[in-house]
Structure 1
């Protein structure tokens, strides 16, 4: 394994995911700063998820081949510039426009990073992919926790200036990257997509992850507002600490083979994950901030168990077209996150916290029944 290359890619993935999720604990603060609603402030994260959903298809048509190192260099430079401009934003429109530019380059960085990880060490591809997942989770954790801390003790502007500095370090490291191969992007045709969806196993997994990430993104997007509702004195630093439970995803992604071995079958593991996710979603009804904090760990355990096992299954059900099936998986996943970043905040604003949780619980009950009734079409279960 090329340790130097691995470190450089991991560092840049962590920076990119930090950029993506840095706005989440700051949403109440940014909503107040720009005098906008909960729904509008949630769009700072939703816009990036939207582009992560559609990028695998769009980029495949624009570019069939692209130099992965050059993509990382260009995109990291753009991130450094955009985050600097974010810190000087004076309006909601300006902030959202700059976040949209970031949303365009972030999928390119992640696609190039995944391509490099898959090719720098052909022997340890599966291990490298597990490291990729763990890196994205760690980046989401770092972005949320440190943005809350920096905003509380310095300012929200310093959050984006520090991310700009981190991107510049990444830019320097990429110049030291010993890799010059090209990443091959997939062109998805309507015929290819419809053929994959005709396989009911893929349809079940894609719909499952749409629903799971809808609830996950929705709840975590409005949780900062809920904490402020319970205790208006809650600081951004305290909100950031709420996301420490996200670290459970790192453990799950690295030890998923042992979790599956414990349950014996993949589908049994997924059903267990949905139950844990449903129980933890119901626990958000409790009004104690400490219980809410602890519940995030359980919430993330359920979500990442389902996500990690589903990813493995989506990539192993079909020998051919692996890049397309995994790309479609990510598209459904992030479309769920995009819609989840918009609908639950709207519901919360109109009908309150408890009714929003009931909505999420209802969706999870429906998807559990759907997956359970279709469990036997998966060989991994039988």
Structure 2
């Protein structure tokens, strides 16, 4: 998913396109992750999980190798769009397998979140290194080899269950949104992931602006801070215990997120590197606790509330992967950072004004 992110300045130069067009390589996957609960809920209502995983992995393996052969922007984006369609199927299938282990579901999901965060970090860091040492085309060829290994492991899984995908109905969605707490949580995550995805998406271009000779390896290392998400996801119960209540943790996380966002106004590359760590601490604190809230506020329809949460989350990421690039291109870095900060101040105030809705969590 994220291997293209540190390569965007390189790919923009390779295909002779703008920063905004290069950002679409990540945005297209975010978009399909947002609408996948609807697509797969209706098209793949009852299918074998193992079958879904195997077919999706084969398609992803072929498309990644095809990316290494792409020679135009249009071809590269078309292939990425095909990948965007199958990636949600893999995530859904993997979560289904883990959820079937009733005795260890919470532990499995914590490790699943940590694994996806680790994958996001490694994908960014190693793609930069491989691109510098061997060329950007080798990045995608190597991912095909990794997917071949994944296919081998999937064949070792003895699992015959169905995917159990949720088919959302308009009435059910409206009914959930009548609970104002969900409007608050969904708005929160739309804005938080808009800022997070938006800033990290244009950060490579900012580094290139400050230090034109910066290598792809060094740009990839910027994303090491993403690993803080692993630490947060595995220790969130201790953080909540320290603050006593979930909403207090969200407010603390937002405060850290806002402060770190403003620190990106600095033009020192070393400070920007360490700021990413603080930025990820704030974001993943808010995200992890918000996920827990979205899954615990209703005893019923948890599949739908979780699906809607992910939809708002990834729509924020999709819009955030494109719109800030336009602002940065037109008005510069400082104005873009101030836009992010303004949105965070808004959502902070919105949650403060809505605290009475969360008496059990405040």
For 1:55, the equivalent position in structure 2 comes to: 36
Q: 223, 243, 247: which is aligned to 1:243?
A: 223
Using structure 2 for the length normalisation, give the TM-score: 0.99
Whole-Å separation in 2 of the counterparts to 1:177 and 1:207? 38
Q: 303, 315, 319: which is aligned to 2:299?
A: 319
Whether 1:347 and 2:341 are equivalent positions in the alignment is: no
Q: What runs of 5+ residues in structure 2 fail to find an aligned partner?
A: none
For 2:239, the equivalent position in structure 1 comes to: 259
For 2:251, the equivalent position in structure 1 comes to: 271
Whether 1:233 and 2:196 are equivalent positions in the alignment is: no
Whether 1:168 and 2:148 are equivalent positions in the alignment is: yes
Using structure 1 for the length normalisation, give the TM-score: 0.94
For 1:86, the equivalent position in structure 2 comes to: 67
Secondary structure of the 1:379 match is helix
Query: Shift of the alpha carbon at 1:345?
Result: 0.2
1:195-232 superposed Cα distances (whole Å, 9 cap, x missing partner): 10110011100000000000000000000000000000
For 2:79, the equivalent position in structure 1 comes to: 98
For 1:291, the equivalent position in structure 2 comes to: 271
Whole-Å separation in 2 of the counterparts to 1:381 and 1:108? 33
For 1:331, the equivalent position in structure 2 comes to: 311
Q: 68, 74, 80: which is aligned to 2:55?
A: 74
Q: 25, 45, 61: which is aligned to 1:64?
A: 45
Whether 1:379 and 2:356 are equivalent positions in the alignment is: no
Query: Shift of the alpha carbon at 1:380?
Result: 3.2
Query: Shift of the alpha carbon at 1:127?
Result: 0.8
Is contact 1:266-1:380 (8 Å) kept? no
For 1:45, the equivalent position in structure 2 comes to: 26
Q: What runs of 5+ residues in structure 1 fail to find an aligned partner?
A: 1-19
Whether 1:107 and 2:88 are equivalent positions in the alignment is: yes
Whether 1:178 and 2:153 are equivalent positions in the alignment is: no
For 2:261, the equivalent position in structure 1 comes to: 281
Whole-Å separation in 2 of the counterparts to 1:292 and 1:74? 41
Secondary structure of the 2:163 match is strand
Whole-Å separation in 1 of the counterparts to 2:200 and 2:128? 14
Query: Shift of the alpha carbon at 1:63?
Result: 1.9
Whole-Å separation in 1 of the counterparts to 2:163 and 2:35? 18
For 1:206, the equivalent position in structure 2 comes to: 186
Secondary structure of the 2:168 match is coil
Whole-Å separation in 1 of the counterparts to 2:253 and 2:360? 16
Q: CA RMSD in A?
A: 0.6
Whole-Å separation in 1 of the counterparts to 2:66 and 2:177? 42
For 1:131, the equivalent position in structure 2 comes to: 111
Whole-Å separation in 2 of the counterparts to 1:304 and 1:341? 18
Whole-Å separation in 1 of the counterparts to 2:278 and 2:297? 29
1:74-127 superposed Cα distances (whole Å, 9 cap, x missing partner): 1111111001000000000000000000000000000000000001x2111111
Whole-Å separation in 1 of the counterparts to 2:234 and 2:348? 25
Query: Shift of the alpha carbon at 1:241?
Result: 0.3
Whether 1:22 and 2:42 are equivalent positions in the alignment is: no
Query: Shift of the alpha carbon at 1:172?
Result: 1.1
Mapping 1:184-223, distance limit 5 Å:
184-223=164-203
1:158-205 superposed Cα distances (whole Å, 9 cap, x missing partner): 000000000011111111111111111111111111110110011100
